[in-house]
Amino acid sequence: MPEDEKLKWKTLVEGLAKRLRKVSNKEAARMKLAGRKQKLREAVEEYAQHLMNLVDFAYPEDSFGMDFSSLKLTDEQKTSLKDENDKMTRRFKEQTVIDSFKTGHLPETKGKMIFLSPPTSLAEAVAQARKIGVK
């Protein structure tokens, strides 16, 4: 096989391996997130931070990117759409962390949190957990 073809083949294989490795990391993080529960004696802040890290791995920023190149939009419209997409991405990730935070609490905490109003941010969810006496 000629050298230039070997180089192309090697580049292709390395690129494919890199993409597959990324998918595997995202999938692994999603599986960990789905099964993550608060550990006995784990501080709520530590638990929340771990969930945020898992969500960042499970849904990296490039997961939500949009390609506007084929649309006939002005630069202002593209910027506006990108900003809106970024806002929705942040909200999705925040809500995912909140949901995981609430469902992964220790059983005695979960029972008490049901009666509280739904938190609108992770900070509020942590404050609610603190308010009902979770360490």
Per-residue pLDDT of the chain (135 residues; tens, 9 = 90+): 777 777 788 888 787 777 766 556 888 899 999 999 999 889 999 999 999 999 999 998 777 877 777 888 898 998 898 899 899 999 999 999 999 999 998 887 888 888 889 999 999 999 998 888 766
How many domains does the chain contain in total? 1
Domain with 98, as residue range(s), is 3-131
Helix ranges (DSSP H) in the chain: 3-35, 44-58, 75-103, 107-113, 122-131
